Amino acid sequence: MSTARERILRDLHIALKRGPLAAEQRTALDAERPAHIRPAFDEDLIARFVRKFESRSGTVARVATLAEVPEAVEQYRTAKGLPPRAAIGAALAGLAWPQEWAIHHGAAAIDETLALSRAETGVAETGSLMLCSGPESPTTHNFVPDDHVVVLEAAKVVRHFEDAWVVLRQRPGGIPRATNFVSGPSRTADVEQTIQLGAHGPRRVHVILVGG
Site for other proteins in 31-90 (CB under 8 A): 32-40, 52, 56
Question: Minimum CB separation from other proteins for residue 25, in Å?
Answer: 8
Closest CA to 88 of 111, 119, 120, 116: 116
Number of residues that bind other proteins (CB under 8 A): 77
Residue type, 97: W
Helix (H, G, I), strand (E, B) or coil at 34: coil
Please, which residue, 176 or 212, has the CB nearer to other proteins? 176
CB atoms within 10 A of CB 14: 10
138-167 residues near other proteins, rule: CB under 8 A: 138-140, 142-144, 160-162, 165
Which one among 62, 153, 199, 212 touches other proteins, defined by CB under 8 A? Answer: 199
13-32 residues near other proteins, rule: CB under 8 A: 13-17, 20-21, 26, 29-30, 32
Which one among 47, 93, 155, 189 touches other proteins, defined by CB under 8 A? Answer: 189
93 is an interface residue for other proteins by CB under 8 A: no
Please, which residue, 36 or 64, has the CB nearer to other proteins? 36
CB atoms within 10 A of CB 7: 11
Closest CA to 85 of 93, 77, 76, 75: 77
Which one among 117, 128, 145, 209 touches other proteins, defined by CB under 8 A? Answer: 128
The 8 Å CB, 24+ separation contacts for 11-19 are none
Closest CA to 57 of 199, 156, 210: 199
184 is an interface residue for other proteins by CB under 8 A: yes
